[in-house]
């Protein structure tokens, strides 16, 4: 599948899953918030932390690939510690949003969705890149972890040419996790004010 087609379906699926998660959150409330405010607070704190790491990580990735993604094989910065840093930080951010819902069910669903969907996406992308870069990609695969970063491999250049227009277009998508947590807080405010009563509770 061409990159544009793959990206199109990945974006569509992400939006569908996001919409389903939002519907569940709107219709439900956290059972932890009702039964244990400490657990709820810890889940929210962990969620905010992971969402922040995910957002900053995506910005770091965007700095390196903005305007270069289709022109060359990027192997520096975050791409020197894992072959798929954008997906790794997206995973952390999405998991953070799930935890910020102050539940364990929603982040568990997110975890399963990533585990089922993204390995196929990664295989498809590496198959496409192999046709372009051949042995160069094979060497990169041999020396760099597929998903979980290995910080000891970090390589960063003294200077790197950034394309600011392209990078600026990536900023909004990198901050989605922060905005989603804000939406969660608005929904919780609606629940607490009685403007919209939740239909069920989830842990």
Considering the domain boundaries, does residue 158 fall inside one? yes
Considering the domain boundaries, does residue 119 fall inside one? yes
| Structural domains counted in the chain | 1
**pLDDT tier for residue 51 given thresholds of 50, 70 and 90:** very high
Considering the domain boundaries, does residue 123 fall inside one? yes
Considering the domain boundaries, does residue 4 fall inside one? no
Residues in the chain: 203
Note the pLDDT of residue 172.
Answer: 78
Considering the domain boundaries, does residue 27 fall inside one? no
Q: pTM for this one?
A: 0.85
Burial of 128 (0-12, 13-18, 19+ CB in 10 A): middle
Mean pLDDT (the chain, rounded): 84
Considering the domain boundaries, does residue 54 fall inside one? yes
pLDDT in tens, 6-25: 566 666 666 677 677 777 77
1 pLDDT higher than 50? no
Considering the domain boundaries, does residue 200 fall inside one? no
Note the pLDDT of residue 163.
Answer: 81
Range of the domain at 40: 35-194
Considering the domain boundaries, does residue 13 fall inside one? no
CA 139 to chain centre: 26
First-to-last CA distance in the chain? 39
Average pLDDT over residues 29-47: 83
**pLDDT tier for residue 47 given thresholds of 50, 70 and 90:** very high
Query: Among 63-72, 83-92, 94-103, 143-152, which is the least confidently predicted range?
Result: 63-72
The CATH number given to whatever domain includes residue 137 is: 1.20.120
């Amino acid at each position: 599948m061409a990159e544009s087609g793959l990206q199109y379906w990945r974006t569509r699926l992400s939006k569908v899953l996001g919409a389903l998660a939002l519907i569940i959150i709107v219709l439900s409330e956290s059972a932890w918030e009702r039964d244990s405010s400490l657990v709820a607070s810890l889940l929210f704190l962990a969620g905010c932390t992971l969402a922040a790491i995910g957002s900053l990580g995506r910005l770091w990735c965007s700095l390196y690939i903005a305007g270069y993604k289709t022109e060359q094989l990027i192997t520096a910065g975050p791409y020197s510690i894992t072959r798929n840093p954008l997906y790794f930080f997206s995973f952390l951010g999405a998991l953070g949003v799930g935890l910020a819902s102050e539940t364990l069910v929603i982040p568990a669903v997110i975890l399963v969705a990533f585990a089922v969907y993204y390995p196929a996406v990664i295989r498809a992308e590496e198959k496409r890149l192999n046709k372009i870069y051949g042995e160069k990609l094979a060497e990169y695969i041999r020396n760099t972890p597929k998903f979980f970063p290995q910080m000891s491999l970090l390589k960063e250049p003294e200077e790197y040419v950034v394309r600011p227009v392209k990078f600026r277009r990536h900023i909004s998508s990198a901050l989605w996790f922060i905005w989603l947590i804000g939406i969660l807080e608005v929904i919780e405010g609606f629940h607490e004010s009685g403007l919209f009563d939740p239909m069920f509770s989830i842990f």
